[in-house]
């Protein structure tokens, strides 16, 4: 009798365990986790592992034989070029994002005011710079900037001005790198701002009209506040991408003249791959992380706050 | 406060005529409701008064001044939109004071006006909230508050209650009426709901197909419609239209509905209709409340007939009954105690003292 009860209990426990396992699998959070697992694995392999490996590399000596702690970083702090690259990366990212945002904003308004019929055509054409692979379009720009045979200098000389050493002078080279980045990136801002503009209900503009707002007041009190979140997110996203830019600088100037156009990514490549000091290159690239994290936290916090208010 | 005059106003979109030359005079302090089915041009007319649409032809005057080329902000009007159109990033106070702030009113004056409007609308405790934190009815009040603080010459309402549920709509209707009693600003109100039009308006303007069908007090439109459209549009359930022939039968003017049914025209009406006899088919217009159960003693002008009920709808205080006459389904209103049953016959009575006769060709009430 007792034995039978125990046997029965065992069966009940097994059944319980099976049903609880079933329940776990039926739970929505479990299903969601399983479905996102491929992406999580992909990110782990392609992002998390290389990032951790970079941290590991940054703590080795040049021959990658010895653990040296933070001495790669302290070495960088003492180098003038490092601070120049920090400065150049910031100038590059902030100036480029600023102009991309301004140009994108005005072009978005221009496109928004085109009647629907012709709008698709304009939208398509204006997106072209963003759609062409940057390495290719930058090559075309490289030819345009050529000091002897380029279209720009040819035009300048025709109208009686002297040619400009576009990529030979530090300031002109920085200008060119930013110009090309703005040319490629502005359409992205345009399309994001255009979407934001289209999502502002027409009745708000009509209400503002009746309230007596002029063009500027409508822009300041209706359009901009309504677009604020998109403006912030686009700026953040673009800052991250611009900060980590590699291809434009690499194709256009390779960091020259005299390292005066290097940004983090190209300088890390120069030190790590071309200079053969992979740990030092890894340490340079890791410097982007804290700077971008701080920016992201500030902007995203503001967006969450505003999102809750609205 | 001001009068609004609309003279021969036309609105054309490309080749489509939305408004076909309408004339309308709105008196000072008056509450006028533009009503009609969708696409009839009522909202376009309102938006032309507001200045949100250009006028193709004609003239609109507010307070005696022609405003055809005056921008909306200088017309001294306030508008309440269908979707409220509150600025989502501003608090209720900021929303209501926005227009005044743009006009650089002193701060004390702005606060005084906002407080006064908030008191009238009972939204004082909501002033610091954002629109997202408000219910539909509260948003509607704020939208009205924004209009009131401006102290404009004319209020314009563009279907303001159509986003609210049925119960709230009735509540807000009463609110709007109360507000108009307190703030007697000239009001133009657009709706497609004839009940809203009847309950709110001093005068109702019925529009159809870009023209004004009839202007009049709610009672006037209900009892004396001038066209078949107005007769059918105003009133719920709608007026019944029964095809018949107006003819002389043995010296008496009768409405011949079919071989078995002919209704004698009451002598008081016969003189008016006699000129139309023999003109072929006409439509007899009878409201459901004039088709009731037959009582033992019939009043003069009331005619009894037999009906086979298809459907009955008990409403509590009355029962709606539906039965066929000449293939048309006709609606009547009977006392719940009359014992109306689906599929059963019922002795009905038509009160022809309240009949309308309509020429089906012109659509005019004879």
Interchain contact, B82 vs A210, CB within 8 Å: no
Tell which wins on pLDDT, B132 or A301: B132
Q: Is the pLDDT assigned to residue A162 strictly greater than 80?
A: no
Strand partners, B322: B311, B331
Give span(s): CATH 3.40.50.300, chain B: 4-224
* pLDDT of B252 strictly over 50: yes
Domain(s) labelled CATH 2.40.50.140 in chain B stretch across 240-358
8 Å CB contact of B130 and A213: no
- Cis bond upstream, residue B237 (ω within 30): yes
DSSP helix, strand, coil percent of chain B (3-state; round to 5): 30, 35, 35
Backbone angles phi, psi at A93, to 5 degrees: -65, -50
Do residues A277 and A271 lie in contact, with contact meaning Cβ atoms separated by under 8 Å?
yes
Which residues are CB-contacts of B3 (< 8 A; sequence separation ≥ 6)? B25, B26, B27, B28, B61, B62, B63, B64, B186
**B98 with A221: Cβ contact below 8 A:** yes
H-helix segments, A113-214? 116-131, 134-144, 151-158, 170-198, 202-211
CA distance B194 to chain A (A): 25
Which of helix, strand or coil describes residue B281? Answer: strand
Over range B134-144, report the average pLDDT: 87
What is the percentage of chain A residues whose pLDDT exceeds 70?
91
CB contact under 8 Å between B87 and A221, yes or no, is yes
Residue A2, pLDDT above cutoff 50 = no
Give the one of A210, A222, A306 whose C-beta lies nearest to B87's C-beta: A222
CA distance B274 to B264: 12
Q: What's the 3-state SS for B211-247?
A: EEEEEECHHHHHHCCCEHHHHHHCCCCCCEEEEEEEE
With CA atoms as reference, report the closest residue to B63 among B28, B103, B23. Answer: B28
B143: Cβ–Cβ under 8 A, 6 or more apart, which residues? B80, B81, B84, B85, B86, B160
Q: Which positions in chain B touch A213 (Cβ < 8 Å)?
A: 73, 98, 102
Segment A217-226 shows an average pLDDT of 89
Contact B73 A217 (CB under 8 A): no
A65 at B interface, C-beta within 8 A: no
Q: Report which of residues A293 and B230 the model is more confident about.
A: B230
Flag whether pLDDT at A138 surpasses 90. no
- pLDDT grade for A310, boundaries at 50, 70 and 90: very low
Q: Which among B51, B89, B102 is the nearest to A211, CB-wise?
A: B102
Q: Is the pTM of this model over 0.90?
A: no
B98/A204 CB distance under 8 A: no
Cβ of residue A209 closer than 8 Å to a chain B Cβ: yes
Which CATH fold topology does B4-224 show? Answer: Rossmann fold (3.40.50)
Instruction: Say yes or no to pLDDT of A3 above 60.
Output: no
Q: Which two tokens stand for residue A273?
A: 């791959």
Chain B residues within 8 Å of chain A (Cβ atoms): 50-52, 71-73, 77-79, 81-83, 85-89, 98-99, 102-103, 130, 132, 146, 150
From B309, B169, B330, B344, select the one nearest B258 (Cα to Cα). B330
Give Cα A153 to chain centroid, integer Å: 32
Nearest-CB residue to A217 (from B78, B88, B102): B102
**Model pLDDT, residue A306:** 61
Q: Which two tokens stand for residue B198?
A: 């009847």
Q: Assign B204 a pLDDT band (cuts: 50, 70, 90).
A: very high
pLDDT, one tens digit per residue, over A192-216 is 999 888 888 888 999 998 888 888 9
Q: How far apart are CA B312 and CA B332, in angstroms?
A: 10
Q: Smallest Cβ distance to A207: which of B77, B81, B132?
A: B81
Question: Cβ of A199 under 8 Å from any chain B Cβ?
Answer: no
Residues of B in contact with A203 (CB under 8 A): 81-83, 85
d(CA B90, CA A225): 9
Is A185's pLDDT higher than 70? yes
| pLDDT tens, position by position, B39-66 | 888 899 999 999 998 899 999 999 888 8
Instruction: Sort out which chain A residues have CB atoms less than 8 A from B79's CB and list them.
Output: 206-207, 210
- Measured CA to CA in angstroms, residue A103 lies from A85, A182, B1, B173, B217 at distances of 26, 9, 46, 48, 57
Give the Cα separation of A171 and A67 in Å (integer).
Answer: 40
Task: Please give the residue of chain A at the shortest CA–CA distance from B151.
Answer: A211
pLDDT of residue A11: 59
Which helix or strand (DSSP H or E) is residue A95 part of? helix A80-112
Please list, in sequence order, all residues whose beta carbon lies within 8 angstroms of the beta carbon of residue A91, skipping any fewer than 6 positions away. A174
Q: What is the CATH number of domain B240-358?
A: 2.40.50.140
Among B50, B85, B146, whose Cβ lies nearest the Cβ of A204? B85
pLDDT grade, residue A8 (50/70/90)? low
Instruction: Decide if A201 and B71 are in contact by the 8 Å CB cutoff.
Output: no
Domain ranges for chain A = 2-58, 71-309
Q: Do B88 and A217 touch (CB under 8 A)?
A: no
Cβ-Cβ contacts under 8 Å, A207 against chain B: 79, 81, 85-87, 146
State residue A15's pLDDT score: 62
Question: Among 3.60.9.10, 1.10.3720.10, 1.10.357.10, 2.40.10.10, what is the CATH number of A71-309?
Answer: 1.10.3720.10
Query: Is residue A274 less than 8 Å (CB to CB) from chain B?
Result: no
Of the candidates B340, B26, B33, B353, the one whose C-alpha atom is nearest the C-alpha of residue B186 is B26
Chain B residues with beta carbon closer than 8 angstroms to that of A231? none
CB atoms < 10 A from the CB of B263, how many?
21
Give the distance, in angstroms, between the CA of residue B152 and the centroid of all CA atoms in the same chain: 24
Residue B240's nearest CA partner among B355, B87, B105 is B355
Mean pLDDT of A142-167: 77
Which neighbouring-strand residues pair with A136?
none
- The answer to whether A226 contacts chain B (CB < 8 Å) is yes
pLDDT at residue A1, rounded to an integer: 44
pLDDT of residue B187: 92
Q: Which of B210, B207, B145 is nearest to B176 (CA)?
A: B145
> Residues of B with CB below 8 A from A211's CB?
73, 98-99, 102, 146, 150
Note the helical H segments in A27-61.
28-43, 49-58
| Residue B260 CB coordination number (10 Å) | 7
Residue of A nearest to B83 (CA): A203
Percent of chain B whose pLDDT exceeds 90: 28
pLDDT at A4 over 70: no
Q: What is the dihedral of CA A12, A14, A15, A17, to 10 degrees?
A: 120
| Lookup result for tokens 């409405």 | B255
- Of the given ranges (A95-99, A123-127, B144-148, B156-160), which has the lowest mean pLDDT? A123-127
pLDDT of residue A284: 83
Per-residue pLDDT at B341 exceeds 60? yes
In this predicted structure, the answer to whether residue B33 has a pLDDT above a threshold of 90 is: yes
Is the torsion defined by CA of B91, B95, B97, B100 positive or negative? positive
Interface check for A308 against chain B (CB to CB < 8 A): the answer is no
Q: Which of A2-16, A111-125, B256-270 has the lowest mean pLDDT?
A: A2-16
Q: How many helices (H) and strands (E) does chain A have?
A: 16, 0
Extract the tokens encoding B129. Answer: 């909230």
Question: Above 70 in pLDDT, residue B115?
Answer: yes
Mean pLDDT rounded to a whole number for chain A? 82
- Matching residue, tokens 């007899």: B284
Q: What pLDDT, on a 0 to 100 scale, did the predictor assign at position B141? A: 87
Residue A210 sits at the chain B interface (C-beta within 8 Å): yes
pLDDT digits (tens, 9 = 90+) for B255-280: 888 888 888 888 888 878 878 877 77
pLDDT the model gives residue A76: 81
Q: What is the dihedral of CA A115, A116, A122, A128, to 10 degrees?
A: 160
pLDDT interval class at B189 (50, 70, 90):
very high
Rounded Cα–Cα distance for residues B56 and A308 (Å): 45
Contacts of B150 in chain A (CB under 8 A): 211
Which residue in chain A has the smallest CA separation from B88?
A310
Q: Residue B151, Cβ neighbours under 10 Å: how many?
A: 15
Q: pLDDT averaged over chain B?
A: 88
């Amino acid at each position: 009798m007792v034995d039978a009860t125990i046997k029965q209990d065992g069966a009940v426990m097994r059944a319980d365990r099976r049903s609880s396992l079933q329940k776990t699998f039926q739970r929505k959070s479990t299903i969601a986790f399983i479905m996102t697992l491929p992406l999580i694995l992909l990110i782990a392999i392609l992002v998390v592992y290389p990032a951790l490996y970079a941290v590991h590399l940054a703590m080795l000596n040049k021959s990658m034989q010895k653990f040296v702690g933070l001495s790669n970083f302290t070495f960088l702090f003492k180098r003038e070029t490092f601070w120049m690259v920090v400065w150049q990366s910031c100038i590059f990212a902030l100036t480029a994002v600023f102009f991309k945002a301004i140009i994108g904003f005005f072009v978005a308004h221009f496109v928004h005011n085109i009647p629907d019929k012709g709008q698709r055509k304009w939208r398509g054409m204006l997106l072209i710079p963003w759609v062409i692979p940057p390495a290719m379009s930058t090559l075309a720009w490289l030819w345009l900037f050529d000091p002897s045979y380029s279209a720009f200098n040819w035009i300048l000389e025709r109208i009686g001005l002297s040619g400009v050493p576009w990529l030979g002078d530090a300031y002109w080279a920085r200008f060119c790198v930013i110009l090309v980045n703005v040319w490629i990136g502005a359409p992205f801002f345009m399309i994001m701002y255009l979407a934001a503009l289209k999502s502002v209900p027409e009745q708000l503009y009509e209400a503002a009209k009746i309230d007596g707002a002029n063009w500027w007041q409508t822009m300041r009190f209706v359009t901009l506040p309504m677009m604020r979140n998109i403006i912030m997110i686009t700026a953040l996203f673009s800052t991250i991408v611009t900060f980590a830019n590699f291809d434009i600088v690499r194709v256009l100037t390779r960091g020259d003249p005299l390292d005066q156009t290097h940004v983090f990514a190209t300088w890390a490549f120069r030190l790590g791959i071309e200079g053969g000091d992979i740990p030092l290159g890894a340490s340079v690239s890791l410097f982007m992380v804290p700077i971008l994290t701080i920016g992201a936290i500030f902007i995203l916090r503001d967006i969450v706050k505003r999102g809750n208010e609205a | 406060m001001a009068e609004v005059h609309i003279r021969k106003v036309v609105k054309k979109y490309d080749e489509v005529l939305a408004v076909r030359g309408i004339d309308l005079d709105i008196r000072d302090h008056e509450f006028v409701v533009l009503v009609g089915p969708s696409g009839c041009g009522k909202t376009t007319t309102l938006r032309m008064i507001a200045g949100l649409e250009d006028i193709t032809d004609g003239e609109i005057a507010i307070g005696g001044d022609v405003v055809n080329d005056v921008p909306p902000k200088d017309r001294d009007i306030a508008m309440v939109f269908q979707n409220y159109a509150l600025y989502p990033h501003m608090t209720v106070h900021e929303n209501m004071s926005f227009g005044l702030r743009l006009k650089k009113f002193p701060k004390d004056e702005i606060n005084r006006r906002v407080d006064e409007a908030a008191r009238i609308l009972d939204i004082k405790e909501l002033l610091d909230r954002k629109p997202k934190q408000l219910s539909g009815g509260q948003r509607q009040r704020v939208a009205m508050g924004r209009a009131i603080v401006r102290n404009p010459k004319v209020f314009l309402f563009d279907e303001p209650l159509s986003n609210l549920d049925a119960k709230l709509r009735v509540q807000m209707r009463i609110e709007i009426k109360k507000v108009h009693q307190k703030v007697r600003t000239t009001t133009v109100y657009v709706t497609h709901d004839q009940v809203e039009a009847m309950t709110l308006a001093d005068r109702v303007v019925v529009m159809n197909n870009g023209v004004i069908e009839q202007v009049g007090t709610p009672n006037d439109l209900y009892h004396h419609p001038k066209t078949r459209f107005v007769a059918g549009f105003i009133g719920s359930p709608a007026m019944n239209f029964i095809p018949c022939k107006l003819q002389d039968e043995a010296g008496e003017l009768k409405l011949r509905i079919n071989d078995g049914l002919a209704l004698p025209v009451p002598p008081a009406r016969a003189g008016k209709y006699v000129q139309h006899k023999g003109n072929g088919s006409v439509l007899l217009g009878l409201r459901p409340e004039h088709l009731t159960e037959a009582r033992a003693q019939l009043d003069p002008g009331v005619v009894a007939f037999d009906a086979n009920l298809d459907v009955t709808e008990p409403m509590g205080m009355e029962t709606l009954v539906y039965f066929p006459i000449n293939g048309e389904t006709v609606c009547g209103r009977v006392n719940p105690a009359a014992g109306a049953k689906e599929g059963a016959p019922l002795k009905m009575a038509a009160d022809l003292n309240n009949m309308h006769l309509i020429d089906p060709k012109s659509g005019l009430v004879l």
